[in-house]
């Protein structure tokens, strides 16, 4: 099965057609397209998580798969469906990274003099632990190993030259902040706890294969700019914005991300960018991917009230039992892990390093 990038992007089908009339059907829990999404995403995951050789480890069922895990919608959905595919006794590692950001800590000290951990209040740590608890409840019997990867500011500074070299020719502050999060997450070294009362133990994932949720936002309209495009120009504006995002995905993201993660001898796989999955997903009508322009359900309805961005993915997550993840708002990795604006809040992401 081909992977994204093995074909020219103009070989893919055209993006979603525009609505033929003003009457747009609502995207609901009962919409057949949700089952179609589950079938196609599961098929994409099956070829990426099955039949992976056992890594060297003294554990009885070491993780062959680790997921780059912020606790957000895209990665939580991958984790939930991966559970349906792998044998029950197979461990799955969830790699969650949090950074010490001196600017954020300084601001927090002004508000609250009580000392706090620089990692426990990172947005991605909070959502990660929430989705981890939800996965454990929804998928009992599975060993989900939440790996807390805490990065002191001094370590970030020490590794910056290496990361800067890896992301070249990308050279902006935004590239660096995204790459820092992926670099240390892919390293896979952190701590684990069997329960909240236990002391943390050092742990490095043995998995050589990682899963990433990259591509979900570009295909199913997950960015704030997609909502803005729809508000300004309706479905035509949204379609144009999605097309632009998809066409530049390889140049903007994939090369950079692959270089920083493979530095640790691990391979990242992208289920949302599977060739066959894209051939199914790209031509879908926009109103079957997201809920922009659709009325929210009334209070008391059986339908959940969810963000319109990536609503198709949200409804599938809801049906699979991970309802907190389904309701999570989109948050960029550099802000969730707090790798952005470490020294000054005035730095712009477009500035060169």
Which residue did the predictor score with more confidence, 171 or 150?
150
Task: Please report which confidence band the pLDDT of residue 108 belongs to, taking 50, 70 and 90 as the band edges.
Answer: low
Tell whether the model's pLDDT for residue 11 goes beyond 80.
Answer: no
Rounded distance, CA 77 to CA 317, Å? Answer: 6
| Spatial distance between the Cα atoms of 353 and 342, rounded to a whole number of angstroms | 13
- % the chain with pLDDT above 70: 86
- Count CB-CB contacts under 10 A for residue 278: 22
Higher pLDDT, 297 or 33: 33
Using a pLDDT cut of 90, give the percent of the chain over it: 68
Helices 311-319 and 73-85 pack at an angle, to 10 degrees, of: 40
Q: How confident is the model at residue 295 (pLDDT cuts 50, 70, 90)?
A: confident
Give φ, ψ of 14 to 5 degrees: -60, 150
Query: In the predicted model, is pLDDT for residue 18 greater than 70?
Result: no
Residues 302-315: tens digit of each pLDDT? 789 899 999 999 99
State yes or no: pLDDT of 10 exceeds 80: no
**Mean pLDDT score of the chain:** 88
Nearest to 146 by CA among 192, 199, 90, 109: 192
pLDDT band, very low/low/confident/very high, at 294 (cuts 50, 70, 90): confident
Grouping H, G, I as helix, E, B as strand and the rest as coil, residue 301 is coil
Contact 309, 245 (CB under 8 A): no
Is this structure's pTM higher than 0.75? yes
The predicted structure's pLDDT at residue 282: 95
Place of tokens 């020294």: 343
Predicted pLDDT at 1? 46
């Amino acid at each position: 099965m081909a992977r994204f990038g093995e074909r020219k992007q103009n070989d893919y089908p055209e993006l979603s057609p525009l609505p033929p009339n003003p009457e747009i059907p609502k995207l609901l829990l009962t919409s057949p397209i949700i089952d179609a999404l589950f079938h196609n995403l599961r098929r994409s995951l099956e070829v990426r998580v099955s039949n992976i050789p056992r890594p060297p480890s003294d554990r009885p069922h070491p993780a062959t798969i680790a997921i780059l895990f912020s606790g957000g919608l895209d990665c939580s959905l991958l984790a939930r469906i991966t559970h349906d595919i792998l044998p029950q006794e197979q461990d799955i590692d969830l790699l969650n990274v949090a950074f010490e950001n001196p600017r954020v800590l300084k601001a927090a000290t002004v508000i609250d003099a009580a000392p706090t951990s620089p990692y426990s209040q990172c947005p991605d740590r909070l959502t990660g632990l929430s989705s981890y608890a939800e996965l454990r409840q929804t998928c009992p019997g599975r060993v989900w190993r939440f790996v807390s990867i805490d990065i002191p500011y001094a370590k970030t500074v020490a590794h910056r030259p290496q990361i800067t070299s890896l992301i070249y020719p990308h050279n902006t502050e935004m590239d660096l902040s995204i790459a820092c999060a992926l670099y240390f997450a892919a390293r896979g070294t952190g701590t684990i706890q069997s329960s909240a009362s236990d002391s943390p133990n050092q742990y490095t994932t043995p998995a050589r294969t990682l899963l990433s949720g990259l591509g979900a936002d570009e295909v199913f309209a997950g960015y704030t700019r997609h909502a803005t495009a729809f508000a300004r120009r309706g479905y035509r504006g949204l379609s144009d914005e999605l097309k632009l995002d998809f066409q530049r995905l390889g140049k903007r993201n994939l090369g950079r991300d692959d270089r920083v993660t493979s530095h640790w001898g691990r391979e990242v796989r992208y289920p949302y960018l599977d060739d066959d999955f894209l051939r199914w997903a790209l031509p879908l009508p926009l109103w079957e991917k997201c809920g922009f322009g659709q009325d929210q359900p009334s209070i008391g309805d059986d339908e959940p009230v969810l963000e319109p961005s990536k609503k198709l993915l949200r409804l599938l997550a809801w049906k699979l039992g991970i309802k907190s993840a389904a309701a999570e708002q989109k948050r960029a990795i550099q802000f969730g892990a707090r790798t952005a604006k470490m020294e000054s809040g005035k730095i712009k992401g477009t500035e060169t390093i």
